[in-house]
Amino acid sequence: MATSYMSHLPQFVKSELLRIIEQHNRLRSGNSGKQASTKTQRERKQIILLAFAQLWMLGYKVQHPASIGGRHIECLAKYWQQSGLAARTLHARMSALRVFGRWIQKGGLVKGNEAYFPPEAIKRTGIATTNKAWLPNGIDPLAIIKKAREIDERLGLFLALMYFFGIRVKEAIEFRPLHSMIENGFAIEIREGTKGGRLRHVPLNTPEQLAVFQWACAIAERSPSGRLRWPDMTWRQAQNHFYHLLRYRLKITRKVVGVTVHGLRHSFAQWKYRQLTDLPTPIEGGALGKIDRDTHQVANISVSRALGHSRTAVTSMYYGSYGHALRGSGVRGDNIRNSQDDEPDPVPVI
């Protein structure tokens, strides 16, 4: 959050906002009674404070948080659209304000997004149009993992787990491998750090995956808690340390090298799809004429489960929708370059 914006917000307003946020922010929106993720809580808090700070900057001196009204929401929406914010950001900000409205007993404070923005401003697409995996962007995951291991063994291990198993950053840091093997050694169970607390199984079916898993077990044996994170750190400290090493030692940022660490999950998803279908993913050129929709959908189900998602449609964010890359391109299926020339099957890193 920009400090320049926060300088406009009086301390007495900020204190009252923080009181309200502290009282309500722990739970998810709706009436489920379930706890919101740390990320959701942090983002809602930032958006709410930013919104009131920007209202003061724009001349709307809202003295009490509960005094916010419809004209204030309209002002913010107009300002955010004129600032050129992405559709995803607009949706997130309006959603946070909608939740805040319920906290202050103003359930109708924020209308549907279409009441504030033209369709083109809030149109979101869940279909990948650019490949965010590392290798197609000129970044060799195995070389980076090797370099990371030389800097810090746990850093290298976390990246390897993300690349070979498709797990998230928090799942890697909090992973307890010594008690995770199931199905007679043919899969591992991901419990700690999962999104929404959803437990899932990831097949352990290649020598490379087994090698990385054994590496994880060796690290965990040295930790009193059995977790992989640095023993002297809390989860939050470990997360900050991981990203510090990633950004400043490995220089892995979108701005510097064109990819983020999340691209390792894209790599895994695409590899998993090819493993299941023996065909390239849509983002890699597609396979119209070579694959039927049922086969594609069955692969999507397996990939979605391996990634820890509950919806198969989310796979389009990792490798595009069925054949979309070929539509209107004039590319024939028999001219498609084999994607495995670009993203080889994983090879041992230890």
> How large is the average pLDDT for residues 285-296?
77
Determine what percent of the chain is predicted with pLDDT higher than 70: 87
What is the pLDDT, as a whole number, of residue 208? 95
Q: Residue 155: which pLDDT band, with cuts at 50, 70 and 90? A: very high
What is the pLDDT, as a whole number, of residue 289? 67
What is the pLDDT, as a whole number, of residue 163? 97
DSSP string, 261-278: TTHHHHHHHHHHHHHHHS
Q: Which helix (DSSP H) or strand (DSSP E) does residue 189 occupy?
A: strand 187-190
What is the pLDDT, as a whole number, of residue 32? 65
81: pLDDT strictly greater than 50: yes
What is the pLDDT, as a whole number, of residue 125? 60
22: pLDDT strictly greater than 50: yes
> How large is the average pLDDT for residues 178-207?
88
Contacts of 132 (CB under 8 A, 6+ apart): 259, 260, 262, 263, 266
What is the pLDDT, as a whole number, of residue 338? 35
Q: Enumerate the domain spans of the chain.
A: 3-122, 125-350
Burial 12-36 (b: 16+ CB within 10 A, else e): ebeebbeeebeebbeeeeeeeeeeb
Tokens standing for 164? 């070979």
Tokens standing for 291? 């694959």
Least confident of 42-56, 67-81, 265-279, 317-331: 317-331
Pairing of the two strands 187-190 and 200-203: antiparallel
43: pLDDT strictly greater than 80: yes
99: pLDDT strictly greater than 90: yes
Averaged pLDDT score across all residues of the chain: 86
Highest mean pLDDT out of 159-163, 334-338, 344-348: 159-163
CB 297 within 8 A of CB 276: no
> How large is the average pLDDT for residues 206-210?
94
What is the pLDDT, as a whole number, of residue 1? 46
Strands laid side by side in the 181-182 sheet: 181-182, 187-190, 200-203
Q: Tell whether domain 125-350 is in CATH 3.90.15.
A: yes
Residue 212 CB neighbours (<10 A):
24
